[in-house]
Structure 1
Amino acid sequence: MSAPVIGITCYVEPASWAVWRDVPAVLLPLAYVQQVRAAGGLPLVLPPAPPDPTPSEVAALLDRLDGLIIAGGADVEPARYGGVLHPYAQPARPDRDGTELALARLAHERDLPVLGVCRGMQVMAVAAGGRLEAHLPDRLGVDTHSPGPGVYGTHGVRVAPDSLLGTVLGEHVNVSSYHHQGVLEHPGLVATAWADDGVLEAFEDPTARFRVGVQWHPEVGADPRLFKALVAASAIHPA
């Protein structure tokens, strides 16, 4: 049996190397690729399609995939979910928003296994018709989930034992997180994990093969279980 192909969304960012400076380049932290490979999958990086991909382009991409990771990154543009721009909002990435929302919706229709990571969880919520909380510190009073530029917050997460996530991770897991927003509404997706401060940390679709969003960064560190679960689900092709 061939290894499942796992698509991973990414940025286009100005990058510099050798004699080249500020060249638009496809950018993804290598940890995603390494985790997919270690779990037995074949990673395929998916650059965004500006400004929005056509339905046929999205279908053609998913035709080639066995599973999908919607990677972390910048805030989803508030206009995508009827929100208001917050002073701490990051610059909009319309290319990523359009591409990833389209991928998330069609992957849901096809029951293609999906793992949303941080921003990816938020994309899944918005694609389902949900809403986001613009800036968690406004409510919490602290930056536990994103303590500083380039610094991951570390904290415990309580996982529902009767969930798919609970089966994979157990009832408690320590995580690395880097997000200032959260998910408020997530139609069709069941909340399955929470931080000690009550912030929603994960949801899943109990009717799907594997449709899981986590607010933390599982690619950081040495715990391969989520990626192994995604790859295992992606290796199964229902008749």
Structure 2
Amino acid sequence: MDDLGGRPLIGVSTYLEAGARWGVWELEAALLPAAYPRLVSRAGGLPALLPPDDPARAPEVVARLDGLVVTGGPDVDPARYGAVRDPRCGPPAPARDAWELALIEAALAARVPLLGICRGMQLLNVALGGTLVQHLDGHVETVGVFGAHPVHPVPGTRYAAIQPDGTSVPTHHHQAVDRLAPGLVPSAHAADGTIEAVELPAPEDWVLGVQWHPEMGTDDRVMRALIAAAGPDRH
């Protein structure tokens, strides 16, 4: 981090799309909504995009990072948590599932601060042995349009320390945590009881997942907390 002007290097996972188009080109592309790296930069970090790669390389990649963000995206393959596919579950993204699961496992092993966003939170739960609800009726009404709803922090959690007040968050999802993975604790809920944030409670492990999309809002406290945890005091 010393060579980066004091800013922590934050890895941010990306999509891998077979037929992305720009200009006259239509090619396979690693891509990511620009709001993610902008949020990392605004919060004081230096974003480094991590497109899907050989999962065996994940420990080497994570070793060079100060923090990791696993982003939103397609549904996690239900086979990853031993479930039969619901017809309302989206198509699988095997390369991304394998890569991001490897990144999560490497970050947990190296105790690199980790933030999971939407799919990233769901994948964190799966990586640690939990399962997902494959479809929540009424949670995604318009494709590509973000809604908003309040979330309520669980007192005494890391998330509650970051955002102690209930707040309205930008959201777009149709899946959620079903069986919570061993070791994870819920740290925020929606009004209907849906788990909206999870974390590892041990103070030496900065691991947080949020169901919503902080990159689509103006409240950057969650990302600033990750950047602070990834700072020089971590080493």
TM-score normalised according to structure 1 size:
0.92
Deviation at 1:237, TM superposition (A): 4.5
1:151 to 145, 152, 158: 145
2:161 to 141, 157, 167: 167
Q: Which moved more, 1:153-162 or 1:76-85?
A: 153-162
Question: Is 1:53 paired with 2:55?
Answer: yes
Q: Deviations over 1:156-209 (max 9, x none)?
A: 111012111111111301011111111112221110100001111001111144
- Once residues 226 and 232 of structure 2 are traced to their aligned partners in structure 1, the CA distance between those partners, rounded to angstroms, is 10
| Runs of 4 or more consecutive aligned structure 1 residues displaced over 6 Å after TM superposition | none
1:19 to 17, 24, 28: 24
Aligned AA (1:151): V
Q: Deviations over 1:109-167 (max 9, x none)?
A: 11110000000001100100111111111xxxxx1x32221122211111012111111
Question: Is 1:99 paired with 2:103?
Answer: no
Partner of 2:213: 217
- Size of the aligned set, in residue pairs, is 228
Task: Classify the secondary structure of the residue corresponding to 1:162.
Answer: coil
RMSD: 1.2
Partner of 1:205: 200
Task: Classify the secondary structure of the residue corresponding to 1:61.
Answer: helix
Residues 180 and 12 (structure 1), Cα distance of their counterparts in 2 relative to 1, 3 Å cut:
same
- Once residues 122 and 215 of structure 2 are traced to their aligned partners in structure 1, the CA distance between those partners, rounded to angstroms, is 17
Partner of 2:110: 110
Unpaired runs of at least 5, structure 1: 138-142
Partner of 1:180: 174
Aligned AA (1:53): P
- Once residues 99 and 192 of structure 1 are traced to their aligned partners in structure 2, the CA distance between those partners, rounded to angstroms, is 26
Task: Classify the secondary structure of the residue corresponding to 1:74.
Answer: coil
TM-score normalised according to structure 2 size:
0.93
Partner of 1:140: none
Contact residue 177 and residue 216 of structure 1 kept, 8 A:
yes
Task: Classify the secondary structure of the residue corresponding to 1:26.
Answer: strand
Unpaired runs of at least 5, structure 2: none
Deviation at 1:238, TM superposition (A): 4.0
- Once residues 187 and 173 of structure 1 are traced to their aligned partners in structure 2, the CA distance between those partners, rounded to angstroms, is 27
Residues 70 and 221 (structure 1), Cα distance of their counterparts in 2 relative to 1, 3 Å cut:
same
Q: Which moved more, 1:85-94 or 1:162-171?
A: 162-171
Partner of 2:185: 190
Partner of 1:83: 83
Aligned AA (2:55): P
- Once residues 234 and 13 of structure 2 are traced to their aligned partners in structure 1, the CA distance between those partners, rounded to angstroms, is 24
Partner of 1:32: 36
Task: Classify the secondary structure of the residue corresponding to 1:8.
Answer: strand
Deviation at 1:228, TM superposition (A): 0.5
Q: Deviations over 1:9-63 (max 9, x none)?
A: 011112211221x2111110100100100111000000002xx521xx1111011
